């Protein structure tokens, strides 16, 4: 009995290399006519590995990773009058916006934000003041005046709170600030931007006074009652 090796009907993989695209194409046709499949070519030496799916390409713009920060606006509105202190108003004691930061897990990013605020003072005990020209920006520390609104950003990884309205003393005054601050955020971290007040009233920007009726140009062009915060992303850099 004559047996037939079934492998002869399978295409064979042949090795070899031919320089030049036209010669390689002719060689491939020749090998196929013999029942061979040309061996796959190796990538050129020194070529970059394929990018990880979902990871920013090297040298690309990283600001989209911080999209949750960009143009974020919180308005702590007045909900009613408070006659015993006519330059204040009643309000909700918590406002918050939260999101998940983009990027790769295990990678740290320095995020530079433009911070514009119209808010009352609070006092933060301890912590660091990275920019002496903007002492109202505090990294870490504890709230020393819990019955005054404290505006802050909280990051889960690396765990930290960044306070935006620290002042040496508290008083019935509205501050208008416009500054840049850099915070550190890990890829995939949870971020919350919030204002918390220990009581139900706040200093009201909508009242008459030399420090009142202020606006954030290009964002709020008419004075609004209450207090407010606007954030914009300036830059994002991987460490």
Cβ atoms 181, 160 nearer than 8 A: no
User: Beta 36-38 vs 12-14: how paired, if at all?
Assistant: parallel
Mean pLDDT value of segment 217-238? 97
- Per-residue model confidence as pLDDT tens digits over 68-89: 999 999 999 999 999 999 999 9
The arithmetic mean of pLDDT across residues 33-49, rounded, is 50
Tokens of 51: 């990018």
Neighbouring residues of 159: CB distance < 8 A, sequence distance ≥ 6: none
Residue 27: per-residue pLDDT? 53
Strand segments (E) across 93-189: 94-100, 108-119, 124-125, 138-139, 142-143, 150-156, 159-163, 175-186
Retrieve residue 119's tokens.
């808010």
Bond prior to 158 in cis (omega within 30° of 0): yes
Residues above pLDDT 90, as percent of the chain:
75
Does the structure show a pLDDT above 90 at 105? yes
Task: Classify 36 as helix, strand or coil.
Answer: strand
> If pLDDT is split at 50, 70 and 90, which confidence band does 51 have?
very low
Cite the DSSP H helix spans in the chain: 21-33
Q: Which two tokens stand for residue 121?
A: 């003072």
Q: Nearest to residue 162, comparing CAs of 186, 133, 136?
A: 136
Confidence of residue 59 (pLDDT cuts 50, 70, 90): confident
Specify burial of residue 127 (Cβ count, 10 A radius: 0-12, 13-18, 19+): middle
Q: What is the pTM of this model?
A: 0.77
Torsion angle defined by CA atoms of residues 218, 219, 222 and 228, in that order, rounded to the nearest 10 degrees: -140
Q: Is the dihedral of CA 216, 220, 225, 231 positive or negative?
A: negative
Average pLDDT of span 156-180: 98
Which pLDDT score is estimated for 53? 40
pLDDT, residue 188, reads 98
């Amino acid at each position: 009995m004559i047996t037939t090796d079934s492998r002869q009907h399978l295409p064979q993989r042949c090795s070899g290399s031919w320089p030049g695209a036209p010669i390689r194409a002719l060689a491939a046709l020749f090998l196929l006519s013999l029942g061979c499949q040309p061996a796959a070519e190796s990538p050129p030496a020194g070529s970059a590995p394929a990018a990880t799916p979902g990871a920013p390409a090297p040298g690309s713009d990283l600001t989209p990773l911080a999209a949750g920060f960009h143009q974020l606006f919180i308005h702590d509105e007045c909900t009613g009058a408070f006659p015993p202190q006519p330059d204040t108003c009643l309000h909700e004691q918590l406002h918050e916006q939260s999101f998940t930061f983009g990027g790769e897990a295990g990678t740290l990013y320095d995020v530079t934000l433009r911070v514009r605020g119209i808010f009352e003072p609070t006092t933060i005990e301890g912590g660091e003041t990275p920019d002496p020209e903007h002492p109202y920006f505090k990294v870490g520390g504890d709230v020393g005046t819990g019955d005054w609104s404290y505006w802050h950003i909280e990051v889960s990884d690396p765990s930290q709170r960044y306070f935006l309205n620290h002042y040496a003393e508290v008083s019935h005054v509205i501050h208008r600030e416009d500054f840049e601050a850099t915070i550190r955020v890990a890829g995939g971290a949870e971020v919350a931007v919030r204002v918390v007040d220990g009581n139900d009233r706040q200093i009201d920007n909508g009242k008459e006074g030399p420090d009142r009726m202020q606006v954030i140009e290009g964002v709020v062009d008419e004075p609004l009652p209450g207090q407010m915060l606007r954030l914009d992303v300036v830059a994002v850099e991987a460490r």
